[in-house]
């Protein structure tokens, strides 16, 4: 491994199909996930009820009262990443550990109760204190403080590309010697904002989503978190850390086509994919599969299909959101963890729910579990505001 090759010492995950990284991948293989109405979590006035992908309530039954769900999910995932790496946060040099956390909802919309009270003119002094705390504690800073790190931190809020951008930026921080270690990933919780928002955009579906299927009818919101512990060569050797894989390439491009809709031609995504491949020194022939953004909306799946045909023709495509839901700012990080496990286990799961090819897409995702031999994969994300991001990941034996 060269000085600039960034390895992953540990990873953790919690979402609708598992409470650990390993459980999440088993859920991806089996198709089992908690998909139901958000009964006691969301109050919505819409007549049609839309099920969502939820973290199992037993997972957060002991959540501290002063932590949001997003904070709790990420800390849980981060603790799993440290445990998998076999190292304690206290063993690391605090000033050389960076923290980058991607989030879409939590970064802006976790103060609904305060907002409601303000609208009703019923704010108290205690509520004002809560508002000040909300404004003064960005997510990444809070995580950094939680573990006692004093290195750089950054909260990424590029909507649904946040988790992928967090991993890509973490790679850059290590390559430029800003940090020895970067704890990165994404987290988001179910709230009224995305739940009602996607309904208003007419892209939600009461059925379980079916990425790239001709009968696809829309998006299911999800929640969860994933954390990855990225390290440089010296740190890996010093602490004899295991290797779960590599972050080899990162590409980002904002096409600015529309506030919420993707560029129909996938122009920005094509550039992001190309940049990531170039950064990794790989081409389409090296790639085992793509873990697609695959939200199962008409516009998104179409734009992705065009981009894949242009940049990664003939590369197998897996849509994993039919077992995790669209976890917004956490999506790219959760999908990175799933991608790494697929590479390491040499197993590519089927796209759950897919049944009928869409002739217009000219793309048929994985229909059955298959064995893979190539050691590299791509994970991509599309987001509001025309944000596009992609990373190239390598298996643990890819160096």
Task: Give the residue numbers annotated as catalytic, written as ranges.
Answer: 160, 293, 326
CA distance 385 to 105: 15
DSSP structural state of residue 19: S
- The answer for residues whose C-beta is within 8 angstroms of residue 310's C-beta and 6 or more apart is 266, 270
Backbone angles phi, psi at 394, to 5 degrees: -115, 150
Say which residue the tokens 């109760």 belong to.
113
Residue 357 CB coordination number (10 Å): 15
* 32-41 CB contacts, 8 Å cutoff, 24+ apart: 32/323, 33/323, 33/324, 33/325, 35/208, 35/220, 35/325, 38/190, 38/195, 41/190
- Residue 62, exposed/middle/buried by CB under 10 A (0-12, 13-18, 19+)? exposed
Answer yes or no: are the C-beta atoms of 102 and 159 closer than 8 Å. no
Backbone angles phi, psi at 35, to 5 degrees: -125, 105
Answer yes or no: are the C-beta atoms of 16 and 325 closer than 8 Å. yes
In which element (H, E) is residue 271 found? helix 267-280
């Amino acid at each position: 491994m060269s000085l600039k090759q960034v390895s992953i010492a540990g990873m953790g995950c919690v979402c609708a199909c598992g409470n650990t990284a390993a459980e999440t991948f088993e859920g991806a293989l089996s198709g089992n996930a908690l998909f139901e109405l958000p009964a006691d979590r969301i109050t919505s006035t819409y007549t049609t009820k839309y099920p969502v992908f939820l973290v199992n309530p037993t997972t957060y039954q002991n959540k501290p009262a002063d932590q949001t769900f997003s904070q709790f999910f990420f800390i849980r995932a981060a603790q799993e990443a440290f445990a998998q790496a076999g190292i304690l946060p206290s063993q690391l040099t605090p000033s050389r550990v960076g923290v980058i956390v991607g989030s879409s909802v939590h970064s802006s919309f976790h103060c609904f109760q305060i907002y409601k009270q303000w609208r009703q003119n019923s704010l108290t002094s205690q509520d004002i204190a809560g508002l000040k705390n909300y404004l003064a504690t960005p997510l990444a800073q809070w995580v950094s403080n939680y573990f006692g790190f004093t290195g750089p931190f950054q909260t990424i809020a590029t909507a649904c590309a946040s988790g992928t951008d967090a991993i890509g930026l973490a790679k850059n921080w290590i390559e430029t010697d800003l940090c020895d270690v970067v704890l990165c990933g994404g987290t988001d919780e179910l709230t009224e904002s995305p739940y009602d928002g996607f309904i208003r955009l007419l892209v939600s579906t009461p059925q379980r989503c079916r990425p790239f299927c001709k009968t696809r009818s829309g998006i299911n919101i999800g929640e969860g978190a994933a954390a990855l512990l990225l390290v440089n060569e010296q740190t890996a050797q010093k602490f004899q850390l295991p290797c779960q894989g590599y972050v080899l390439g990162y590409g980002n491009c904002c096409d600015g086509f529309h506030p919420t809709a993707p560029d129909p031609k996938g122009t920005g995504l094509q550039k992001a994919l190309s940049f990531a491949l170039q950064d990794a020194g790989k081409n389409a022939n090296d790639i085992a599969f793509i873990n697609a953004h695959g939200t199962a909306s008409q516009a998104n799946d179409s734009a992705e299909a065009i981009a894949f045909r242009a940049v990664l023709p003939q590369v197998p495509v897996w849509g994993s959101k039919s077992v995790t839901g669209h976890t917004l700012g956490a999506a790219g990080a959760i999908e990175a963890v799933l991608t790494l496990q697929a590479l390491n286990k040499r197993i590519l799961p089927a796209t759950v729910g897919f049944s009928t090819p869409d002739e217009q897409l000219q793309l048929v995702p994985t229909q059955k579990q298959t064995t893979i031999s190539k050691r590299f994969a791509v994970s991509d994300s599309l987001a509001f505001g025309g944000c596009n991001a992609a990373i190239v990941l390598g298996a643990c034996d890819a160096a």
